[in-house]
Amino acid sequence: MSTGRNETPVPDVAELEEQERRLVFRRFTHDDAWALGSLLVELARERQAPVAVDIHRGGQQLFHAALPGSTPDNDAWIARKRRVVERYGSASYLVGSRFRAKGTTFEESSRLDPDRYAAHGGSFPVTVAGVGVVGSVTVSGLPQVDDHRLVVEALERFLGE
């Protein structure tokens, strides 16, 4: 784990990969999406975080909430980060971190349209054991590492870790 400019610990690629191995669902239903989304909203409200929260399964949006202080730009960021998860099958922050670990950036090296894809923290794959990635849970509104951490914290609580 390294530290960012403000001395906040930033997870490295190995830690991010470990989070993905650990945070796996046995199943993921509409009710699970509602409960997880509601938990994220509760955590964000406790922190007065100006975020938008989104959960998709397949091509369907199962949950969306926009808290006070969030803007339409957060919805655009959600869509861009979610597309990274859908394309790579990994957390948006992990994808960006892998590019940075190679000495480049997602924007420079992915050859993907930055207006459609953003490898910034905040979108995490919804992975079902024995099935694979079936969707994503995404937060936008905080610095990217904090968006990522909020999603991971909610997943850990939801999955009982």
Residue 1 has pLDDT above 50, yes or no: no
Q: What is the pLDDT of residues 37-82, one digit of tens each?
A: 999 999 999 999 999 999 999 999 999 999 999 999 999 999 999 9
Q: Is the pLDDT of residue 7 over 80?
A: no
Mean per-residue pLDDT for 22-33? Answer: 98
Question: Under a CB-based contact definition with an 8 Å cutoff, are residues 89 and 125 in contact?
Answer: yes
The pLDDT value given to residue 50? 98
The number of residues making up the chain comes to 161
Output the pTM of the full model.
0.93
State the maximum Cα–Cα separation within the chain, in Å, rounded to a whole number.
41
Type and span of the H or E element at 143: none
